[in-house]
Amino acid sequence: MNGGWLRPAVFGAMDGLVSNFALIAGMDGGTQSGSKFVVLAGLAGLAAGAFSMAAGEYTSVASQRELARAEIEVERLEIARHPIDEEIELAETYRAKGLDPDLADKVAKQFHTNPEQALDEHVREELGIDPNDLPNPVVAAGSSFVCFAVGAFIPLLPYLLGATSVVPALIMSLTALFAAGAVVSRVTSRSWWYSGLRQLLLGGLAAALTYFVGSLVGSLVGPGIG
């Protein structure tokens, strides 16, 4: 499970990049007051999104960990109460995987000579959980926070360096989206160019729609907005 950090890191960076890019594009399309309010909105979006992602990730992973621990305790109780039945059940699991029946019985018996080893094996085989590698909610929250902030900072950077239009942020964000998608392909079955192009198109579409909404709201409220 990589300590519970890999998934929130990947999705945190993606979410930060897409959401803040879209927010900045919407603000740019809806205001007439230059980069000042775009930067303010971008910083607010970065902070709010990073804290929100961290809190949500912590709650999600903590709940997942607590559920896994509860299931492990149920299995521990079953082994203590019905050791023979559990040993037979483990042997049947091995036979279903193709082990010779006699060998399956011997392996199951060997594991059950040590209750903790038996518990670990039952949990892995029946629940698909590694009891020694449960995700850490603090690690997940920290990873999500940092990676969201990094992703959200990318479209904001050109404005902090003096940009007065959305074009530099667009170029940096689309490049980063493609790169992020290509990196994700290393842990999936998709090619790097397909994954990168998909992420670029989805992020670009989100920003374009938000820019359109911002322009529409800005025109309805009036040219003096901001």
Of residues 2, 3, 10, the one with CA closest to residue 146: 10
pLDDT band at 4 (very low <50, low <70, confident <90, very high): low
Residue with tokens 């009036």: 222
DSSP classification of residue 2: G
CA 46 from chain centre, in angstroms, equals 17
Give per-residue pLDDT as tens, 49-63: 999 999 999 999 999
DSSP calls for 87-127: HHHHHHHHHHTT--HHHHHHHHHHHTTSHHHHHHHHIIIII
Predicted TM-score (pTM) of the model is 0.81
Give per-residue pLDDT as tens, 106-161: 999 999 999 999 999 999 999 899 988 888 999 999 999 999 999 999 999 999 99
